[in-house]
Chains A and B, each alone.
Chain A
Amino acid sequence: MSAILVYVEHDGGCVTDLSLQCLSCGRQLADQAGAELHAILLGAEAAGVPLADVIHAAKGEGLEPYTTRPHAKKLEDLVSQLQPLAVLLPSSTIGNDLAPRVAGELGLCVTLHCDAVKPEAEALHCRRLEYDARAHTWFAPMANGCTVATLADGIAESASGDTTGRVESLDAGLDADLLRVLVERREVVQKTVNLKDAKVIIGGGAGVGTKENFSLLQKLAERLGGEIGATRASVDAGWVSAERQIGQTGVVVRPDLYIACGISGAVQHAVGIRDARMIVAINSDPAAPIFKMAHYRIVGDLTVVIPKLLDLLG
């Protein structure tokens, strides 16, 4: 029976939200094609993998934490064995590192960061946003056959529930030459705040200037019932914890209201907020790119403007 294969990424054993979206998307494609949904999970127990008919799991040396070649090897072997119609991965640091490696090893077509997929007779077609978000480009394999794709946040609803499919153990063995890259240490913050579901977010950037000034944003957040978000710059400055970073290497948020304070609007941040219902930008530079996506623009010093807003809010 034909198959759709999903690479399931996990964070310390907990399946990531984007992987759950990939499982939903994979389930739809499998049902349309009358295929089975297979999942592969490396370096963790096969728990919390809903919707898949078969879960291929392996634990062992070199599989946790992630490095490219051990995971690529296991995924390549499974792809060669299953000959799936498509291989879907989350568009994350890991997914976008792994997908082109596996495609390169096997000579398959690959498309990264897809926001839509469409099953056609000969193969899966994949769409991504390009050219400063002015064009959608559809990609397909040259020859009939398997497509490898990483899927962007929002591709489907997150699947929920526990593993119900059949679990099959994969051989965890790896040749020594695949184990030459070593993760010496990680400085990664465990998430404790949920920015994804926040209705109101007050974002602070380098323009906030000091840790003390962040308390202004905190007050505004409390008054509006919102959460604090941040740019990479203010996280790197040590004013805010990394779990609040919004953007490409942070979280993608969809609040009703986003107030950007002292944020220039670099594309890596903008991709994380472009689905906000309303954006208010406070920036002292009238030419800041953030103003182009803002519904309300306030050109001014945030240390003056925010206290005024707090006054008016009472």
Chain B
Amino acid sequence: MSIHSIVIVREAWDTRDLATDVVGSDGGLVPGVLSHRFEPEDLNSLEQALQLKEEHGGRVTVLSVGQPAEVDVLRECLYRGVDAVHRLLPPEGVQLDSAATAELLAAGIRKIGEYDVVLLGVSLPEEENSLLGAELAARLGSDQVSYVDSLSEVNEQGFLCKREVEMGSEFLRVPRGSVLVLGVYLLKDDPRTPRSAKAMLKLKMKKQPIEEWAAADLGLADLATKVTTRVVTHEAVPPRQVDSITVDPENEAELKNMLQDILGR
């Protein structure tokens, strides 16, 4: 038995601890405020794919959409030991939404041909949604499971997925060929913790050419017509101002004042 995993990776905006305003007076985003990182949940799904290969044999192929801004996520995948990477390029000037992104990915996956599973992560900057995975599964006509925490019982038919739902977990038997959107809750010393780049591979893969597939060559010259959603405007939300009071736990008077305040209200 062997498993060919296709992993989708994204370079996402790092929205943690934003110190400055992101929205300008014109309702657009202020350029340069947001830095980028490898979408952490995509790193988790890459790790899952690499472990499937190590355990059961097979291959890992990685796809990403667009030219890198700050982090070349495909090269980062090469540094972690994947078998092949392909960059999918939308037509010049087209602003993709998740529907159009999914169209392009689905075309790339069809070009790759046979596979056993498509893995990607929930999107952290967008409140952990599984938008892209579901849009993609719709285009592939395949089964999908979102918020997958872990995989087990891998066999010829498929996988057992543990997924997180409100108030607990669910165990689902899914067939090969499914799209799995991972939302991994990493414990301390978790065996699912993503590996880092390997120094050896960094040397070897630094200059490795990355194959690019243009939308037009995948039959999607009209990709702009697949966009379904537009951004009307952005409105700035002032940062939450909390008047914080630091209380010294050694100081009884301060603790008392605090208790009076919180119980008084």
Interchain CB contact under 8 A, A110 and B228: yes
Q: Mark A252-264, 1 if CB is under 8 A from B, else 0.
A: 0000110000000
A133's partner among B163, B168, B240, B245 (CB-CB below 8 A) is: B240
B17-38 residues with Cβ-Cβ distance < 8 A to A are: 17-18, 21-23, 29, 34
Q: Mark A240-274, 1 if CB is under 8 A from B, else 0.
A: 00110100111000001100000000001001001
B240 vs chain A, min Cβ distance (A)? 7
Of the listed stretches A36-44, A48-56, A166-174, A182-190, chain B binds: A182-190
A298's partner among B18, B136, B227, B247 (CB-CB below 8 A) is: B247
Count, chain A residues at interface, CB 8 A: 87
Residues of B within 8 A of A297 (CB): 244-247
Interchain CB contact under 8 A, B129 and A113: yes
Query: A100 CA to B173 CA in the complex, in Å?
Result: 22
Cβ of B71 under 8 Å from chain A = no
Interchain CB contact under 8 A, B265 and A100: no
* Chain A binding surface, main DSSP class: mixed
Query: A72 CA to B261 CA in the complex, in Å?
Result: 51
What is the chain A residue whose CB lies nearest that of B260? A312
Instruction: Indicate the member of B34, B126, B229 with the most A CB atoms within 10 Å.
Output: B229
Query: A304 CA to B129 CA in the complex, in Å?
Result: 39
B235's partner among A108, A136, A182, A249 (CB-CB below 8 A) is: A136
Interchain CB contact under 8 A, A248 and B128: yes
Q: Mark B207-236, 1 if CB is under 8 A from A, else 0.
A: 000000000000000000011111111111
What is the chain A residue whose CB lies nearest that of B147? A93
A249's partner among B23, B125, B166, B231 (CB-CB below 8 A) is: B166
Query: A249 CA to B184 CA in the complex, in Å?
Result: 13
B128 vs chain A, min Cβ distance (A)? 6
Cβ of A196 under 8 Å from chain B = no
Whether A296 contacts B98 in the complex (CB less than 8 A), given A104-B137, A110-B131, comes out as no
Query: A224 CA to B263 CA in the complex, in Å?
Result: 8
Residues of B within 8 A of A110 (CB): 98-99, 131, 135, 228-229
Whether A101 contacts B134 in the complex (CB less than 8 A), given A140-B232, A181-B172, A182-B172, comes out as yes
Interchain CB contact under 8 A, A277 and B265: yes
Cβ of B155 under 8 Å from chain A = no
B144's partner among A94, A101, A224, A308 (CB-CB below 8 A) is: A101
Whether A296 contacts B230 in the complex (CB less than 8 A), given A136-B237, A187-B169, A242-B167, comes out as no
Interchain CB contact under 8 A, B228 and A183: no
Q: Mark B73-100, 1 if CB is under 8 A from A, else 0.
A: 0000000000000000000000000110
Whether A278 contacts B265 in the complex (CB less than 8 A), given A181-B143, A236-B187, A245-B167, comes out as yes
Query: A182 CA to B165 CA in the complex, in Å?
Result: 15
B125-160 residues with Cβ-Cβ distance < 8 A to A are: 125-139, 143-147, 160
Residues of B within 8 A of A107 (CB): 99, 226, 228
B168's partner among A129, A189, A304 (CB-CB below 8 A) is: A189
Query: A135 CA to B245 CA in the complex, in Å?
Result: 27
Cβ of B258 under 8 Å from chain A = yes
Of the listed stretches B2-10, B49-57, B112-120, B249-257, chain A binds: B249-257
Cβ of B262 under 8 Å from chain A = yes
Residues of B within 8 A of A158 (CB): none
A185's partner among B127, B171, B231 (CB-CB below 8 A) is: B171
Residues of B within 8 A of A140 (CB): 229-230, 232
Query: A65 CA to B13 CA in the complex, in Å?
Result: 36
Instruction: Indicate the member of B125, B160, B175, B255 with the most A CB atoms within 10 Å.
Output: B255
Query: A277 CA to B135 CA in the complex, in Å?
Result: 38
What is the chain A residue whose CB lies nearest that of B263? A224
Of the listed stretches A23-31, A79-87, A287-295, chain B binds: A287-295
Interchain CB contact under 8 A, B145 and A96: no
Residues of A within 8 A of B239 (CB): 134
Residues of A within 8 A of B17 (CB): 132
Query: A103 CA to B259 CA in the complex, in Å?
Result: 51
Residues of A within 8 A of B146 (CB): 68, 93, 96-97
Q: Mark A103-137, 1 if CB is under 8 A from B, else 0.
A: 11101111111000000000001001111111111
Cβ of B1 under 8 Å from chain A = no
Top 8 A-B residue pairs of the complex, sorted by shortest distance between their CB atoms: A104-B138, A188-B168, A100-B134, A300-B249, A138-B232, A104-B135, A132-B15, A136-B235
A-B contact pairs, 5 of them (CB 8 A): A93-B147, A138-B235, A183-B171, A186-B165, A308-B252
Q: Known pairs A93-B165, A293-B240; list 13 more (Cβ under 8 Å).
A: A67-B172, A100-B132, A100-B133, A107-B228, A109-B228, A181-B172, A248-B127, A256-B265, A268-B128, A279-B242, A280-B258, A298-B249, A299-B246
